[in-house]
Amino acid sequence: MLVRLFFCLFLLLPGLAIGDDRIAVLEETALQRSSLQPELEQYSSRISLNNLEALARTASMPADQPLPTSPLLVRYWQQQRQGLVTTMSPQPTPSEQSLAGALARILTTSLEGALIPEGQAVQRRTLAGKATVKTADTQLGETLLKRVELTFNTPTTLQEAFYTRKLPLPQDKITSLYFDINAGNLTIQEIGLLTADGLKLTLEMRYHEVPGGHLPARMKITSPDGQIDDLIEVTYEQVDGFDLPVKLSQVTNRPQLQETLVIIFDDYRINQPFPATIQNHFGQLQ
């Protein structure tokens, strides 16, 4: 019989000053993203979908707007920059452009950069300075979990400081927010939040290990009453020596919406030059 022994040490701390380092572990989780598969500079891949209607709803397309039969969509990705989804059609229709934009938002949400977004460190510390901050270390077997919990005296707007609006999590009227971080590999394992309206959500994360760190492979968002049960899952395979997504499944299960969207990636071209128009786009992001 195996007995799991664990201990939990809570450190109750006063409000965090702007220069305090008690949320430093959150910043460390963002820094580790920069070292993932360092030799993977850029790639392009073809995209196919199982449910154009679901993507059209995500894109907020008018119901009477005709959908393309087989949209030719391509994703371009560069290290340290957001990805781009575009159509290969010489004269893309408004529908194709809308679908490409919706896919770009989904892929940014699902694959990288949605948690502890870069460029928001000052805003995170400012918000933490207005909160009561508690930290806790919990040892579970060989895993040390570090919790950072912020409680706000008045409902607060996060302004995408801790996660982007591309995640289906509220930004406004937040009364408490916590992060559980695996201290060994600096990955966020769980996020929990509570709003002034009484909405309580938990986001559980799982990862795929690659050279230099971990890629997000599973995001599950749930509410205690079972009304919300969303899942985003990514399947990775090795392509020319790199771990790349070959399938993304997004399941939405909410009272107002139940649907599944599956995205398939193939025909990868790795570390090859982009077309001039695509390269110019990424150049503008520098």
pLDDT of the residue at 5: 36
Q: Where are the domains of the chain?
A: 6-39+119-283
The DSSP output letter for 62 is: -
Q: pLDDT tens digits for 184-208?
A: 999 999 999 999 999 999 999 999 9
**What's the chain's length in residues?**
286
The sign of the torsion formed by the CA atoms of 121, 122, 123, 129 equals: positive
The C-alpha atoms of residue 264 and residue 63 are separated, in whole angstroms, by 25
pLDDT reading at 17 higher than 80: no
pLDDT of the residue at 129: 93
CA distances from 226 to 21, 199, 253, 259 (A): 36, 12, 9, 16
Chain position carrying tokens 């392009």:
44
The pTM assigned to this predicted structure is 0.81
Q: pLDDT tens digits for 251-286?
A: 999 998 898 989 999 999 999 999 998 888 777 655
Q: pLDDT tens digits for 29-60?
A: 888 777 788 899 999 999 988 887 878 777 77
Q: Per-residue confidence at 112, pLDDT binned at 50, 70, 90?
A: low
